[in-house]
Amino acid sequence: MEAVPGHVVTFQTSFSDVSGVPVAVPDATIVIFKFSDAGVRDDLVPATAMTPADPAEVGRYTHVWTVPPVLTQGDVVYVEMTGTPPGEDPVKFSEVVDIVPAAETLMSPGLRAQFVKLI
CB 100 within 8 A of CB 67: no
Q: Please state, in angstroms and rounded to a whole number, the distance separating the CA atoms of residues 84 and 13.
A: 13
- Indicate the pLDDT class of residue 105, thresholds 50, 70 and 90: low
**Per-residue model confidence as pLDDT tens digits over 45-95:** 999 999 999 999 999 999 999 999 999 999 999 999 999 988 888 989 999
2-104 CATH fold: Immunoglobulin-like (2.60.40)
Average pLDDT of span 8-21: 89
Element (H, E) at 11: strand 8-14
Answering whether pTM is above 0.75, one says yes
What is the residue extent of each domain of the chain? 2-104
* Phi-psi group of 104: left, alpha or beta (phi > 0 → left; psi -120 to 50 → alpha; rest → beta): alpha
- Indicate the pLDDT class of residue 1, thresholds 50, 70 and 90: confident
**Per-residue model confidence as pLDDT tens digits over 17-44:** 878 889 999 999 999 999 998 999 999 9
